[in-house]
Structure 1
Amino acid sequence: MPPPCFSLLLRSTSTLSHHRPPFFLSSSSYNNLPRSAMEANLKGTEEPKKDQWRETCYKGASDVDPSKKVSDDILPHILNLYASRALPRDFEIYAPDASFEDPLMCAHGIKQIKSAFYSLSKVFSESRIVEYSIKENILPHGRREIVIDNKQYYKFMGKDIDMISLIKLYVENGKVVRHEDWWNKKPLWDRETCKVQLVGQIMEMTRRASMLATHAMMRFGKDPTK
């Protein structure tokens, strides 16, 4: 998401089986049973335990229903944020210590994320996501990754600007814990992605400074009043 200094740096780009109750036989009776009958009886007593074990594992892994798409709940709020019509409830998709990062800013916590998105209307007369496709991946420990391949539109000083972007959301317990916006689908520059670690550190510091300046200008994430 482009910040206030966008005008200087932005480049154009967009699921039991029903088992019969287990029955029990004496050891002598087992000896007289055909092998197939013995196996069937053992299977009938063991399968419910396996099903119960599977159910326990699913419950322990996550409180989120694996069959439900988390993106269905999150996407409408993301569209509001990028369309400069964010309301306080739109930020409820984020965990308290969530982070947001794009090539120009790095925000930590909901208040800084509010400042980042509330600033859009201060810079652009129009902004929105005009095209998008979504892919949702289930990660270990019940986490989700939502990838939004999209095209964003902005109007700045009467000029139309189209930008290709890749939004990556990492979700835990139904809340976004990290939000990345890759302009031109290029990974963010930091000490891990840059060949020269020092350059990556400088880029990180620059994004933090830009965020802090924007945060102050936007009254430290205070919700706007009508």
Structure 2
Amino acid sequence: MKSVIRTPSSFLSESRINTLRVSTTLFLLSAVPKHSRVVMDQASQNKQRWENDASKGSQLYSDQIMPHILNLYGACAKAQDFEIYVPHATFEDPLMCAHGVKQIKSAFYSLSKVFSESSIVEYTIDEKVTSPGKNQILIDNKQHYKFLGRDIDMISLIVLSLEDGKVVRHEDRWNKKPLLNRETVRVPVVGRLIEVARRGSMLATHALMGFGKDPSP
């Protein structure tokens, strides 16, 4: 093993070098405008937040959210199942467009009134970080319903957009097709009419379901 002998002069030299480095760093920082330093600090914080989100391999949000989604589609939802949403969350499928948790409650509480059976029978999950504090969960699934004694099986893609672990947007794309609206149809006026019809259907359901009233225990 090679030994390195340090002399007092070498320590002095290193001390001077370290002092020079500190002085240079302080000078450079003082030369950066305060606003720029704030932006740099914010960028550093965002980068750290992104890395923290990306490193949560064993702490996926879908592990916490999926049991509640199964309850919603299984027509056995309770009030606590809707705690996965932020208050202003939206839910949309080809029939309805709900704004806010109370309307989302009405949409899912109505399932048991329409179908004698309702459930997600198969699913696979893909979760990814889209930006700092934001995630997207894709649930490729097969849904089963029974209506007037008739079995109905449907392929769907559920898209959940999350911010800080809470769902801000919930889309149910039947047959994995994008929802029809003014941005996805060739004639914007037709898309607008579809949006109005979807909102009307939701408001009617909302009224029939007691404006999102939770069922009695």
TM-score scaled by structure 1? 0.75
Which residue pairs with 1:4 in the alignment? none
Q: Give 1 or 2: higher helix fraction.
A: 2
Which residue pairs with 1:26 in the alignment? 13
Which residue pairs with 1:183 in the alignment? 174
1:140 is aligned to 2:131: yes
Per-residue deviation, residues 70-122 of structure 1 (Å, max 9, x unmatched): 10000000000000000000000000000000001000000000000000000
Distance 1:211 1:100 in 2: 10
Q: Which residue, 52, 66, 73 being the options, matches 1:82?
A: 73
> Residue 28 of structure 1: CA displacement?
11
Q: Which amino acid aligns with 1:102?
A: D
Distance 2:185 2:11 in 1: 67
1:49-128 equivalence runs, <5 A:
56-60=45-49, 66-67=55-56, 68-128=59-119
**TM-aligned CA distance change 1:63 to 1:208, over 3 Å:** farther
Distance 2:70 2:193 in 1: 31
Name the larger-Rg structure.
2
Unaligned runs of 5+ in 2: 1-9, 26-40
**TM-aligned CA distance change 1:103 to 1:53, over 3 Å:** closer
Q: Which amino acid aligns with 2:113?
A: K
Q: SS at 1:131's partner residue?
A: strand
Dislocated runs of 4+, deviation >3 Å: 27-30, 52-66
Q: Which amino acid aligns with 1:110?
A: V
Asked whether the equivalents of residues 154 and 174 of structure 2 are also in contact (C-alpha less than 8 Å), the reply is: yes
> Residue 137 of structure 1: CA displacement?
1.2
Q: Which amino acid aligns with 2:159?
A: K
Q: Which residue, 142, 151, 159 being the options, matches 2:150?
A: 159
Which residue pairs with 2:205 in the alignment? 214
Q: SS at 1:75's partner residue?
A: helix
**What root-mean-square deviation, in Å, do the aligned CA atoms of Structure 1 and Structure 2 show?**
2.9
Unaligned runs of 5+ in 1: 1-22, 31-41, 47-51
Q: Which amino acid aligns with 1:69?
A: L
**TM-aligned CA distance change 1:55 to 1:219, over 3 Å:** same
Asked whether the equivalents of residues 153 and 161 of structure 1 are also in contact (C-alpha less than 8 Å), the reply is: yes
Q: Which has the higher contact order (CA 8 A, sep 6+)?
A: 1
Asked whether the equivalents of residues 107 and 208 of structure 1 are also in contact (C-alpha less than 8 Å), the reply is: yes
Distance 2:150 2:136 in 1: 34
Q: Which amino acid aligns with 1:185?
A: K
Distance 2:165 2:176 in 1: 25
Q: Which amino acid aligns with 1:199?
A: V
Per-residue deviation, residues 148-191 of structure 1 (Å, max 9, x unmatched): 00000000111000000000000001100000000010000011
